[in-house]
Structure 1
């Protein structure tokens, strides 16, 4: 999701270690029939699901179109029991009129990752596919990519959490001096693992910065609770600094997803003459629903502190995503950078 790509050098050994983490933590088995719907150049689909499936000898169904019109019939026809999608695509399935027309009773293991699953959507998934157990896999390319796992029994007990470190991973949340932060305090998520990259291709400076202090710096901000469960607060680059306060876009997005008429939302900071950055909601409305900017702002004001409430709302037909389903907030920031003038 960055504008300039960087090459993460992973060994075969680190990828195989990561397969083992996925298989153990995700309860994958030889008898699974797995649907692979995202591009195989994306490490989540390739190394968290297809690679472990080949390693185990399970059955793989590969398709190139992650759309409801394609996926729902495939699940029913092939009796798929294991399936991974990013939250944006799970949302698309739930909103499709085809959802209720197909037999999804074979689907027993569901996985999400690549971005945060809104708590309201996770609860809806549990209600509408009750036999399906759900895992959250969190990580990034540099760790091959699995880092932490929220398992099925914790989905409703720890909604929104990224879980605990996978079997081959150590994870901490630290301040800028590499000290562990207190329970409930925000810090940077760092990892140590045999799954990690050797470094960035032809970029010694970036490699040294990433491994400063002997741990890999993820670039994500997180919080640990009193049971050691990790919650990802935001990407460092997505933290909004408005009027001298820090606002995590994810917290605002969670509040917005509790408004019934919203299908998808992205919260970004946009340049503002008074606030420097203004919290701004980019909203996709469910079909047949009417919402105004005033209604959206009033909803947020009833649930959030004043400085976290969006200063503006932009309505769009769709949010920009990469082929793997990740939201491209940088595109929204560029598209609407003059929303408040300037």
Structure 2
């Protein structure tokens, strides 16, 4: 079994004075939700997600060797401009991962990051952002340790990303990624995400995700606070059991291609996530009236047309509309006719599942 010590490196075998690496990493959308965590970003329950394709963060890491190695030193740019309010989170991340990347104090870093989706669009960028940064840092470690295997590279990138944002560990690989120990999924672990290793039916190939931007404002409750509320939650233990059960059910669904059962599990998971927030103390309602209008419209459309379209939600008001590629034309027409009016400024993003993060030329 892999432990955290596996990711503490020996001395590096090469040296590097300066250079840069650039990666793109996608966002992801959980089908079985992760909600509740232990120390060191260990999940209280396993999750599985679709890796997205178009909604991603592109990060360039430039590094120069420095003389004073007493401090962690970095500049942070967002779309080419200094972004001081992002720095505390990155500082905390670097401090958290330093034992696994002991070269961090040897360099002055410039982190230049941008998203392919609009900033403040209501799509969480922490997963894609932390994944992209972790991959850039791993590229530097691989340059210092050229014998590193690809398997180790990606496992450790996911492991590090998790320490920045839990769900970021699911943004390294695609198309379906499992994070968290699940008895009958070989290789599953709490330490990093793995590509779903079992059979997946053709029905789920190129699955579509249209993200309806209902509310582009700041989150009403931070993810950290939301996860912490599970510690004293009266229904937490049953919820964690349910996540294991639903992941088992989804495994069979991925193999059989049963879209009706897929819809039941995915929508139930989304509503359960919000039910946990509504029954915590303090309690939160993160859905907006327009979120409920969209859900109701999707249910009516599915009932009337028998088209297998469903929704899922993150910890917010926006709605991810999920559907097979084969029905894309009809569902997109439905979205334009019936759902766009519920979106803030009529905004929505068309995406689909993708293969994960990619290195980019500098």
TM-score (norm 1): 0.31
More RCO (CA 8 Å, sep 6+): 2
Higher helix proportion = 2
